[in-house]
Amino acid sequence: MSDDLLEYALPGNRVLCFAPEVVARFRMHRQHRLWRKEAGGQLFATMTGKVVDIREATGPRPSDRRSLFGYVPHRAAEQAEIKARYARGLHFIGDWHTHRQAMPEPSSTDLHSMQDMFKRSDHDTPGFILVVVGTELFPEGLHVSYHQAGGWHELKLKEAPVVVEGGANGRGAKMRQSPNGKAST
């Protein structure tokens, strides 16, 4: 198992995972040096059964406005990204950006912009993902949350393998806590 394998539990017994290239991009833009500007972009996933697999993280783009404490994405560029990837079977699933915080928390602006996504989206998406990349090593330095039209919650790492064979919804499976030794950077 790669130490880049980050899996989170989504509602409905679903799993959210990140491709190693995506984690690498988050890591590359961590604001752990003073001069590092905020960075961010969009998240694109494939959805197969119960697995939401984030395959690509875009950005930051040259057209974004970036500063030490702010990141304003270029909306037209975002729309173009969504269109191009949709044709390849990659669905827009949310946003990511960096914070100069060790263990990041979303700001009120972040939470508002997630709610705004529901107004802007033209197809009914049950929820969007927000990733905030902090300066601490992953997974501690990574905030991952699930946003729905009426609220949001932080996603927890899936700690142990869950057996999903057998029952139709895998509900009988026990989740075990286990040290996963995932600390990495």
- Which positions lie near Zn ion, rule CB under 5 A? 107, 110
Q: State in angstroms the smallest separation of the CB of 147 from Zn ion.
A: 13
Least distance in angstroms from the C-beta of 57 to Zn ion = 15
Q: How far is the CB of 38 from Zn ion (least distance, A)?
A: 8
Q: Provide the minimum distance between the beta carbon of 133 and Zn ion in the complex, in angstroms, as a whole number.
A: 10
Nearer to Zn ion, 78 or 110 (CB): 110
What DSSP string describes the chain?
Answer: --TT-EEEEETTTEEEEE-HHHHHHHHHT---STTPPP-EEEEEEEEETTEEEEEEE----TTSEEETTEEE--HHHHHHHHHHHHTTTPEEEEEEEE-SSSS----HHHHHHHHHHHHH-SS--S-EEEEEE-SSPBTTTEEEEEEETTEEEEPPBP-S----SSSSS-TTPPP--------B-
72/163 with CB nearer Zn ion: 72
CB of 149 to Zn ion, least distance (A): 20
In this structure, what is the dihedral angle of CA atoms 71, 40, 29, 152, given to the nearest 10 degrees? 100
* Closer CB to Zn ion, 31 or 92, in the complex: 31
Nearest residue relative to Zn ion (C-beta): 110
Residue closer to Zn ion (CB basis): 71 or 92: 71
Residue found by looking up tokens 């690498």 in the block: 24
Q: Give 79 or 107: the residue with its C-beta nearer to Zn ion.
A: 107
